[in-house]
Copies of this chain bind each other. A is one copy, B any other.
Amino acid sequence: MSEFRKDPVQNRWVIIDPDYPIDDRGLYTVDLPDDLPALDPDCPFCPGREALVGPELLRYNFIPKDGVDWDIRVVPNRVPVLRVETQIEKEADGIYDWMSGVGADEILIESPYHNDLPHRIQPNRVEQVFWAIHDRILDLRKDTRLNYLFYFKNFGHQAGDVVVHPHSRMIGTPFIPATVEEELLGGEEYFDLKERCVFCDMVKQEMKAGLRMVAENEYFISFCPYASRYPFETWIIPTGHLSHFEASSKNHLYNLAEIYTETFKKLHKVLENVPFAMVMHNGPLQEEDLPYFHWHLEIYPILTCCPGQAMGGQIYTNPVAPEQAAAALRGESE
């Protein structure tokens, strides 16, 4: 029997219908050889080809070993959709609004090793990834034209990804992306009404209920949200209130790296090499310490192709209840 569940932040109804058939033409998978090499001479992101991808915006070095001397590199996207060099110009075109494509478009190379897949990468390396995002935010927010840094990672070509080498992307924009704007508005409305952060309420209820929990450590939980739009949708969120990722402490990022790798190991155990999209929803660049917003990561495994039903109206039909998904991820038999 199907049911409707409402997302408490965005006030969007989702249909959860465990009887709804999952597309029977097979589930998506990222086709990777078992013996993916640690270094691939043809990969543009592997060591030895650094000069190919242009000047570095950030680099974490380490003591050279086997000819590899870096942990993390951030480089401008070779085909950027936005450029910081662009002058900001705004114009009306009749009733329409136009703005020049000013912004940042950067690639974060998460590891020198080609085969550091999300379920295999070590927590200490992931911690470096999060420090790199942290440092790029500190740098980019100095450009007051930019109001948001959109961090995301796509894995697998069904998620729009081309290169296997572990990497993610950061797009800095003068505007706040629509989905984040909706969360900010929803969070503010809830706060006005209840004087509490809706995300904090969610975290407390999930920890208490337990049935949608995936993993937990000192500073973070991962869970399948109540109104999950996609099967096995999973969020990672700090348990204490924190609107801005860049205000994280060392202990936060250490714990974040730990729960990140644990969560991806669990996802891989159940869904194997499933393609996914992961996004960070963060507070706006030019604001700080919002009482009504709470930064988090959202992971959407892409099991089948996207339904037009969701495309044109945001009516999502999810055939896997989040309680069922979370139990599977926790390793409990169904």
- Bound: A264/B8 CA distance, A: 39
CB-CB under 8 A from A145, the residues of chain B are: none
A61 nearest CB across to chain B (Å) = 30
- In the complex, the answer to whether B5 meets A305 with C-beta atoms within 8 Å is no
Each complex incorporates copies of this chain amounting to 2
B2 touches A96 (CB 8 A): no
Query: Which of B19, B300, B305, B313 contacts A158, CB < 8 Å?
Result: B305
With A and B bound together, what is the CA distance between A154 and B82 in angstroms?
32
In the assembled complex, the Cα of A13 lies from the Cα of B159 at a distance in Å of 22
The reply to whether the CB of A157 lies closer than 8 angstroms to some CB of chain B is yes
Which residues of B lie under 8 Å from residue A2 when comparing CB positions? 81-83, 101
Binary interface profile of A, 1-30, with partner B (CB < 8 Å = 1, else 0)?
111111010101101010111010100000
- A153–B307 CA distance with the chains assembled, in angstroms: 10
A278 to B19, CA, bound (A): 25
- Chain A: interface secondary structure? mixed
CB distance from A168 to the nearest CB of B (A): 10
List chain B residues, Cβ under 8 A from A6: 96-99
- How far, in whole Å, are A302 and B82 apart by their CA atoms in the complex? 24
Stretch of A32-40, A111-119, A171-179, A242-250 on the interface side: A171-179
Most chain B C-beta atoms within 10 Å of own C-beta, residue among A81, A99, A314: A81
CB-based contact B82/A315 at 8 Å: no
A239 / chain B contacts, CB cutoff of 8 Å: none
Find the B residue at minimum CB distance from A315.
B177
A178 contact set on B, CB distance < 8 A: 10, 12-13, 313-315
Q: Which residues of B contact A171 (CB under 8 A)?
A: 309, 315
CA distance A98 to B14 in the complex (A): 10
- 14 other contacts beyond A95-B201, A95-B205, A300-B312, with CB at 8 A cut-off? A2-B101, A4-B173, A4-B175, A5-B99, A6-B98, A12-B178, A15-B101, A20-B79, A94-B205, A154-B308, A177-B313, A180-B313, A277-B309, A278-B312
